[in-house]
């Protein structure tokens, strides 16, 4: 209990950023939302930026990959034990034990599989094709007006935005930091979201230079 209280007090003690969009000297900054685009996040760095001449990509960190695999392997192991008990038919085993293990395995395996699939997708900025996109399949071949989704043309990116979110649960409380694209029409597209502010700010600065767009950082007290 004391550890939880200490964690919450430490998070609350951090100065709250005062967002004054006028500081960025851009009329569009006054019109876009400064609330988190996607709720939730993590308290550790889930992505790191790699930069080459024509391409920038956020990729999952080893810490994130191990975290996802813990869920996936736990689920597969529980399912395997459940299947073994069903096939074994030992009278000493309660009839419901294999079913509980299978349900547990399906839950954790499903969550782990989803986390691994979506969490390890590369987040790519490709100057050769002129696209931002997520996934291994390459840039999209078409772009509709239904919404930016997980893709955008690089020429449509007006700025990068960093906002902060306070995440609280029964187990812990922490800040997560979100990097978004701001398109020329004011729409925002989520890029990455994790708990290591300094790494995210450093990566965002490199990305802003790569894209030749301004970085609107709303995570510092002195705005």
Q: Kindly report, residue by residue over 48-79, the tens digit of the pLDDT.
A: 999 999 999 999 999 889 988 988 888 888 88
Angstrom distance (rounded) from CA 8 to CA 5:
5
Asked, for residue 167, whether it belongs to a domain, the answer is: yes
pLDDT in tens, 77-128: 888 887 777 777 666 667 677 788 888 888 888 888 888 888 889 999 999 9
Q: Which residue has the higher pLDDT, 59 or 166?
A: 59
In the predicted model, is pLDDT for residue 147 greater than 60?
no
Asked, for residue 106, whether it belongs to a domain, the answer is: no
Asked, for residue 74, whether it belongs to a domain, the answer is: no
Asked, for residue 101, whether it belongs to a domain, the answer is: no
In the predicted model, is pLDDT for residue 145 greater than 60?
no
Q: Which residue has the higher pLDDT, 43 or 159?
A: 159
In the predicted model, is pLDDT for residue 44 greater than 50?
yes
Angstrom distance (rounded) from CA 154 to CA 221:
30
Q: How many domains does the chain have?
A: 1
Asked, for residue 34, whether it belongs to a domain, the answer is: yes
Angstrom distance (rounded) from CA 213 to CA 223:
19
**Domain around 50:** 2-59+147-217
Q: State the pTM of this model.
A: 0.79
Asked, for residue 118, whether it belongs to a domain, the answer is: no
Contact in structure between 119 and 60 (CB atoms under 8 Å): yes
Angstrom distance (rounded) from CA 137 to CA 204:
24
Label the pairing between strands 131-134 and 151-153.
Answer: antiparallel
Asked, for residue 95, whether it belongs to a domain, the answer is: no
């Amino acid at each position: 209990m004391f550890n939880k209280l200490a964690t919450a007090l430490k998070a609350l003690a951090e100065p709250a950023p005062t967002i004054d969009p006028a500081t960025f000297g851009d009329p569009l900054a006054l019109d876009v939302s400064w609330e988190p685009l996607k709720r939730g996040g993590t308290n550790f760095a889930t992505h790191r930026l790699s930069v080459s001449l024509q391409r920038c990509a956020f990729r999952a960190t080893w810490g994130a990959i191990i975290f996802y695999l813990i869920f996936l392997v736990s689920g597969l192991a529980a399912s395997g034990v459940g299947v073994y008990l069903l096939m074994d038919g030992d009278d000493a085993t309660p009839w419901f034990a294999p079913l509980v293990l299978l349900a547990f395995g399906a839950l954790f395996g499903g969550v782990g599989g989803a986390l691994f699939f979506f969490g390890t997708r590369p987040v790519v900025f490709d100057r050769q094709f002129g696209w931002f996109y997520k996934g291994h399949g390459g840039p999209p071949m078409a772009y509709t007006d239904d919404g930016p989704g997980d893709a955008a043309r690089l020429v449509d990116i007006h700025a990068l935005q960093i906002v902060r979110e306070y995440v609280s649960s029964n187990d812990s409380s922490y800040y997560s930091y979100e990097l978004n694209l701001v398109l020329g029409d004011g729409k925002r597209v989520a890029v990455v979201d994790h708990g290591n502010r300094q790494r995210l700010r450093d990566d965002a600065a490199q990305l802003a230079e790569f894209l030749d767009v301004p970085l609107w950082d709303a995570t510092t007290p002195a705005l």
